[in-house]
Each structure stands twice: as C-alpha cells, then as structure tokens.
Amino acid sequence: MATPTPTPTSPASIPSSVGRGGFLLARARVAPGAGGRWAVRAQPAAAELVERSVNTIRFLAVDAVEKAKSGHPGLPMGCAPLGHVLFDEFLRFNPANHAWFDRDRFVLSAGHGCMLHYALLHLAGYQGVTIDDLKAFRQWGSRTPGHPENFETDGVEVTTGPLGQGFANAVGLALAEKHLAARFNKPDLTVVDHYTYVILGDGCQMEGVANEAASLAGHWGLGKLIAFYDDNHISIDGSTAIAFTEDVLARYEALGWHTIWVENGNTGYDDIRAAIKEAKEVKDKPTLIKVTTTIGYGSPNKASTHSVHGSALGSKEVEATRKNLSWAHEPFHVPDEVKRHWAHHLDEGASLEAEWNAKFAEYEKKYHQEAVELNSIISGKLPAGWEDALPKYTPESPADATRNLSQQCLNALAKVIPGFLGGSADLASSNMTLLKMFGDFQKDTPEERNIRFGVREHAMGAICNGIAVHSPGLIPYCSTFFVFTDYMRAPIRLSALSESGVIFVMTHDSIGLGEDGPTHQPVEQLFSLRAMPGILMLRPADGTETSAAYRIAVINRKRPSILALSRQKLPQLEGTSVEGVAKGGYVISDNSSGNKPDLIFISTGSELEIAEKAADQLRKERKSVRVVSLVCWELFEEQSEEYKESVLPSDVTSRISIEAGVTLGWEKYIGQKGKAIGIDRFGSSAPAGRIYKELGLTVENLIATAKSL
C-alpha cells in the first residue's frame, strides 16, 4: 500500500518578508529575556518549502544509503519532519564554529539513522559535511561513518551506536548545562543557557541503560533536556509488538518526566512545533515527546516494515519512492530554494555567537573570578600549578589502601580544577570518592559537585561521557568496584571511542577484598581492559604511584583512564616515582650493573610489595635482582625502544611477573623462558591473606619460582 504524499498544515505564524524564488525566508529577533539573552530564530517557512526541505532530507539519506549499498534509511525518512522543524526553527548553533560553547546540543541516540543527522548538518552549512561527504557515506576515511562519531564529523556531539548510550550521554550533557548555569549565571547576566535535544527509538527504550539514565534525569529535574521518542513500532526483527508493549509515556511520567504525544509525526508540523514550545516552558522536569512516525515514510512497498530499517531500498523501490513523493531529481540533489532557505543559519549562527561573546566580555568585567573559572572549563586550559596540589608521599608515610590515597587526590584536585566533579554508584563511602568540601548535585542544588548516581553503573559511565564532551575543561570521574566494570564495558569503550577523558575510579581491585568472594573479586578485568584500545589502565602500588596516576588521568583529556585501587593497606615503597609512572613502567630497585641483572621481577599494584620483599631476600643470597613496576602497559608501549630496553633488557630472559589477575598477556613481557604468577581461576571467600597464600601470591612462592628458572 502506497504511503500518501505529505500535505503539511499551514504554519501557525507566516513570515512577513519574501525571499528569492518566491519563498518565505523571514527571521525574527526575539526580545531578550532574563539575563539579556537574545535569540535569532527563523520563522516557519511556507508549507511548500517545508515539504521540499523535508523531502530533501529524506532523499539525501535514501541516496547515500543506496550508493553505499549499506545503511538504515527508514529512520531518516520517518524523522525528516521532526529533524527539519528542530534544526531549522529551534536549535541554536553556529555552523562556522561547531564548538561554540553556548550552542544547543543534539544527540542522535538511534545512531543507525545517522544519515538524518548528516543531511541536516549539510543543509545547515557545516563545512565538514559536504555533498561529497554524503556520497562517501560509510566508506573508508569518510567524515560520514555508519554511526555518528564526534571525532570524525563537525556537529556530532558524541559517538553513538549501542542503543540507549546516546540518550544517557544526553543526560550528561544536560547535567553539565544545569551545573554550570547554577554556578556561573548571575541575575543580570546569563552566560550558560542552552538545551539538550535527543532522538531515541524503540531499541533505545528497550535497553536498560536508557531507563537508568531517565530515572536520574527525572530525579535531577533536568528541565532543559528534551527527548524525542521516534515511535515507529518497528525494530530489526519486525513489529515491536513481539517484545515491547509497555506504555512508555506512563513509565516516563513515573520517572518524573513531563510527557507529550505527537500522534502525527509524518505531516503534523504544527504539532511538532507546539510540542517543542510546550517542552521549553517546563522548567523543572525533562520532557519526553513521543512522535509517532512511519518508518521509511514515502516508500510504497517497504514503509512500516522492518525491511526498511537496516538495508538500502534497492533501485526499483528508490524510483517508486521518488514517484510517490513527487521527487523528480537526480541523486543527492538539493533544490536551490532549499539551499537559499537553509543558508540563513550561517548569518544567524554568527550573530548568536557574537552576541554571546559580547555578553561574556561584559561578564568578565563584572565577575572576574567566575569568568576565570568558566574560561578554564570552556577552553580546557588547566590552572597554573594544579599538579602541585597533588599529595606527596615518602617511604615513611603510613601504609594505606590506595582507595584512601585516591580520596586524598580527588579532594586535592577538586580544590584547584574548576571542572572537576563526579561520584560513585552508591558506594562513595566504600570507593572513598566523596569531595568533602562540596555538597551533592541535586535538583535544587545543581551547583554542587558530588554526583549521586545510585546503583546505576550502566548509566553512570554514559552520563560521565556526556559531561566530558560537553566542555574540554569538565573532568568527570565515576566509581564502583573494579569487578563491575563488566556492567560498564559499553560506556568505557565508548569513552575511548569518543575521546572523552573520563576518570574511572575502580576500587576493590583484586582478591585482596577478601570475604565477599569470587562474585566481587576481579581476576580477568585487568587484562580485558588492557585489551581495549584508547584507554589507560593504571594499577598503582602506593601513594606516590596513586598521585602520579591522577596526574596522568587529568592530563589525558582525550582518552579515559581507569585506576584500579586496593581495599587493603599497602606500604609506601622506596623507589616509586611520579616520573616513572608517566612512562608506564620503570625500575624501582636494582642491585645489578651494566643493565644485566640475573633476574627481573615485574609487577603492579598490591603485588609490587611482594616482588620487592622477594628481591630483598634474593639479594642477600648475592643475586642481582631488578624490580619493575609496570603500572600502565599502554604508557610503557608508547616509550622509545631504547627506554623499554633499559627497563627490560632483551638479554635477560629470567623474568617473573606477579599480579593478582589472569596471567594472559604477561607473556609479552616475560618471554618464552619467563614465569607468570597470577590467578587463572576465580577467587574464594576468605580473609585476603589466606586467599593470597592459597593461590600462591606470596614471597615464598615468588622466591621458589625464581630459583626454578
């Protein structure tokens, strides 16, 4: 059955001036509201132009997917009306500067429909998304990959793809806006004032991470978060009726959201406009707008079917769709009148940013100290001397768990870095992550910096990714037990992909947590995270290494860091150093000469103490022993071959690693003749000391292994 050609209702407000080609192209300057905010917005264009614009969006998506013979045309075809109204009439941005601070943020959580986003960015004038880029959709080296990637495409805020993650990122973006607005806006000057918009689909709604994030957004009252639920009733396997029949709006109402239903998302342009306006009037709650659409709208034979969800229409169906929607143009055609209309965003965007710059200049004069802090957050430039705030330790400092030493570092950094904030998944008193000089970020106290995520690891990581990409100088951390990085694998992986420098503070890093047993004792997590590209996996052994690990984590703004921290107390070791940690691996003790020790012990974290004690005993037996801390494999691999040879000389084949985790991966450093002491099984429920003894992570076993080489 053919889908009828859309006939949009007339715009509620007809512009007063006529542009070239006979189309209405007026703009209106809205009077400033509180804080002196000006907004230059395009008025709804004539109905005929709106329809041509919407069909341009549809066919740019159809043609790109068809050329690539790969992609998802259904969502862009169904969501084109929503995309047009949002981008052309409401979204505040500057195509010439995609990183302008006070822009509205847009996230396509249903990232498979990314040709909708690319088409909109192209029409809006983003130079990074040309027609040639659209023609290169999904091809090697293109700026239009198969799912949105923020490091590839100007105008894309976050990397999305795994369903629900982008929605949770949007919650983080909205949290950042609310936090910064509460800290820096003044009664006479509003310098933080933007919305976060997100489109999510049925698949996102089914994923648990979305519900966790929605629960927090409602609790926090993120009134400037507006989510559009593309309600098209189709997923990859077919109708959503086979697995998803809940009342989504009722669920969101229970989670503390304002909800609206646009029943005709295909041609109800005025209804979409009215819904967005209503959502913007709701200040104390986020809003979910359910927009019922037809997936693959306009396709005579594939609309409303799962076959249009994830594959090209095919040449015959493309031609049938062109005929059905009266689109008599060659592929990738943008009508001149559509180009002329969308060109207004270039002038408008420049004007918006210029007005904000003028306002911020006034803010700098009136509120100098606040401006310095906000500038640090906007630019990502760290305050001078921030590293000096990190605590320093000596071998005489008392033994302590690295989770406790971590808390000292967190509190020291929060005092000197304006954009430092974070929290844990209901474990602040166990992870030791509370910032003692600040209160809790809550609905009515958004200026505070302790974020209470509750037992929501999935959403916690994704929300922190959103915070990190909001502004270069926002440095979020989040925390749980190290074993529960398994719950967070998707956001950790996307943190690496998004180049978002989240600091993941993971405590209870080994069997050393003791009696809670194997469900809580990580053994494979260290290696599995070392296997993930684009992250730094750090396991410090004492206070000096913990402080140094935080220095590394703060410096690395485009890759995340994971700190694995102990529950049990560890001594402050002789020979550990900040400079050594910066290189990932280094010698902490050695009684050899000529870079030719008899034996090399290599270790990390809590087992470095064991290696050092064993080395001391063997040295008494006239053995030359080197102890190496390999605190971060990734950083070590980035060093020169000469440096790596100076630490692990290739001529020395007698090497032993000791680490409370699986031995897989250690062969790279111990070689074929070396031995790896670790845990290639799950742990046990018992006091930590007994588990270490039973599993052979002892000085005695290390010495015996050394003598067997």
Would you please indicate which residues are annotated as catalytic (active-site) residues? 457
37 is in an annotated binding site: no
CA angle 416/417/419 to nearest 5° reads: 150
- Answer yes or no: is 230 a known binding residue: no
Could you give the C-alpha distances from 664 to 139, 564, 586, 631, in angstroms and in order?
35, 18, 21, 16
Cα–Cα distance measured from residue 206 to residue 694, given in angstroms and rounded to the nearest whole number? 44
Closest CA to 565 of 461, 360, 384, 424: 424
Question: Annotated binding residue at 470?
Answer: no
* Exposure b/e, 325-350, CB count within 10 A at least 16 = b: bebeeeebebbebbeebbbbbeebbb
Question: How many Å apart are CA 449 and CA 503, to the nearest integer?
Answer: 15
Residue 506's Cβ-side half-sphere holds a number of Cα atoms within 13 Å equal to 32
What SS3 string covers 6-45? CCCCCCCCCCCCECHHHCECCEEEECCCHHHCCEEEECCC
Is 154 labelled as part of a ligand binding site? no
The token pair at 579 is 């400079």
Distance of CA 627 to the CA centre of its chain: 37
Is 602 annotated for ligand binding? no
- The answer to whether 232 is annotated as binding is yes
Q: Give the dihedral sign, CA 271/274/279/282.
A: negative
Provide the 3-class DSSP secondary structure of residue 400: strand
- Tell me whether strands 400-401 and 569-570 are parallel, antiparallel or unpaired: antiparallel
Q: Is 234 annotated as a binding residue?
A: yes
Q: Are 454 and 216 a contacting pair, CB within 8 Å?
A: yes
- What DSSP character marks residue 486? G
The answer to whether the annotation marks 162 as part of a ligand binding site is yes
421 DSSP 8-state letter: E
Q: Establish whether 701 is an annotated binding residue.
A: no
Give the residue carrying structure tokens 């719950």.
487
Our CA angle for 512, 516, 522, nearest 5°, is: 55
Is 567 annotated among the ligand-binding residues? Answer: yes
CA 109 to chain centroid, in Å, comes to 12
Helix axes 47-68, 114-124, angle to 10 degrees: 120
Helix boundaries (H) for 259-382: 269-281, 315-324, 336-342, 344-366, 368-379
- Please indicate if the annotation marks 508 as binding a ligand: yes
Task: Give the C-alpha separation, 517 to 691, whole Å.
Answer: 10
Contact 105, 25 (CB under 8 A): no
161 is in an annotated binding site: yes
Give the 3-state secondary structure of residue 530: helix
- As a whole number of Å, the end-to-end CA separation of the chain is 77
Tell me: is residue 55 an annotated ligand-binding position: no
Between CA 612 and CA 589 the distance in angstroms is 8
- Helix, strand, coil percentages (3-state) for the chain, rounded to 5, are 45, 15, 45
Q: Is the dihedral of CA 285, 287, 288, 290 positive or negative?
A: positive
- Which residues participate in the annotated binding site for thiamine diphosphate? 112, 161-163, 203, 232, 309, 484
Known binding-site positions: 72, 112, 161-163, 202-203, 232, 234, 309, 403, 430, 484, 508, 516, 520, 567
Which residues make up each annotated binding site for substrate?
A: 72, 309, 403, 430, 508, 516, 520, 567
Which residues fall in the annotated binding site for Mg(2+)?
202, 232, 234
